[in-house]
Amino acid sequence: MIPREVLKKLRKIEIHTARLANTQLAGSYHSVFKGRGLAFDEVRMYQPGDDVRFIDWNVTARTGEAYVKVFREEREMTVMLAVDLSRSQRFGSRGMNKSDLVAEVSALLAFSAIKNNDRVGLILFTSDVEKIVPPKKGAKHVMRVVAETLSFQPKGRGTNLARALETVGHLSRRRAVVFVISDFIASGYEHALRVAAARHDLVPIVASDPREAEMIDAGIVLFEDLETGDVIPVDTSSAHVRDTFRREIARQRAGRDSLFKRLGLDTITINTDRPYIVPLADFFRRRARRMHVA
């Protein structure tokens, strides 16, 4: 039984993200994410301009008229959403925390996939994989995917990206589109990411909050690590402390971005203080432009 407050939130997100899928991303999703190739559809009589390589010689010989094979794009794909709902996702300084942000982006991607008749699956993870919704089609199924994300009550505190990526490999033997939605505040996932990227069309979506990169001067402050529960006092009035913090965060992000670049991954960064549709639409435009050039 889904709690009433979750149902209200589900309805609000459904209306908002379904509208975005139909307007802001209309056509972009279909043109960027291709199906598995071409499948034979039928034969028809040859018409001037048809490619002679597609002449069906058996039918042509049998009928005495030239016939060609007609192919259609095999559109159906599997889209996997690997969503990080660890404790660090509860952080937010601008009215929306990261867990709300990733829930809405997950919903938008799920609605876009269903609109194009693709199958959608869901993996919710923390320090372990806690929930798996196998890929299926249909509006009812996508509502389940969104509801599971909104009502999820995590048991683990940390983030095990490697386990989530390995689970994607077990669930999707064939090539799939995999959106990994996380703040990527984790370690030890490099090998699993490399393996998943070689097998699937992998798109990391990095959830971020502006306060994660900058420490403000607020005197002595108690900081809690949301994933470990550790609480430590920090003298934020120290310029050295603030600068050390800023440089360490920059170092971690540079390492992450360098890994993504080495693997040739298109990445999307979403922020709690900005509309997420902008970086998503930019991602689709970049991909479409690159595919057009290619």
pLDDT in tens, 186-209: 889 999 999 999 999 999 999 998
Q: Comparing 21 with 125, which gets the higher pLDDT?
A: 125
Task: Specify the pLDDT at position 271.
Answer: 92
Average pLDDT of the segment spanning 212-232: 75
Give the C-alpha separation, 154 to 85, whole Å: 7
Same domain assignment for residues 172 and 120: yes
Nearest-CA neighbor of 257 among 184, 182, 195? 184
Mean of pLDDT over the chain: 84
pTM given for the model = 0.79
State how many domains the chain has: 2
pLDDT at residue 197, rounded to an integer = 94
> Do 168 and 50 lie in a common domain?
no
Residue-level pLDDT at 8: 76
Helices 139-151 and 98-115, packing angle to 10 deg: 170
Same-domain pairing of 195 and 236 = yes
Q: What is the pLDDT of residue 26?
A: 62
Confidence of residue 72 (pLDDT cuts 50, 70, 90): low
Q: Would you state the torsion angle of the CA atoms of residues 218, 224, 225, 228, taken in this order, to the nearest 10 degrees?
A: 170
Q: Residue 284's pLDDT is what? A: 86
Q: Is the pLDDT of residue 268 over 90?
A: yes
CATH of residue 224's domain is 3.40.50.410
47 and 27 in a common domain? no
Tell me what pLDDT residue 231 has: 81
- Domain range for 21: 4-31+76-293
Residue 15 pLDDT class (50, 70, 90 cuts): confident
Give the number of other Cβ atoms within 10 Å of residue 132's Cβ. 14
231 plus 216 within the same structural domain: yes
**Residue 52 CA to chain centroid, in angstroms?**
41
What's the average model confidence in pLDDT over 106-133?
91
Do 52 and 113 have their domain in common?
no
CA 167/CA 133 separation, integer angstroms: 12
Encode pLDDT of 124-163 as tens digits.
999 999 999 999 998 889 889 988 988 888 888 889 999 9
Angle (CA) 290-255-85 rounded to 5° is: 85
Same domain, yes or no: 111 and 221: yes
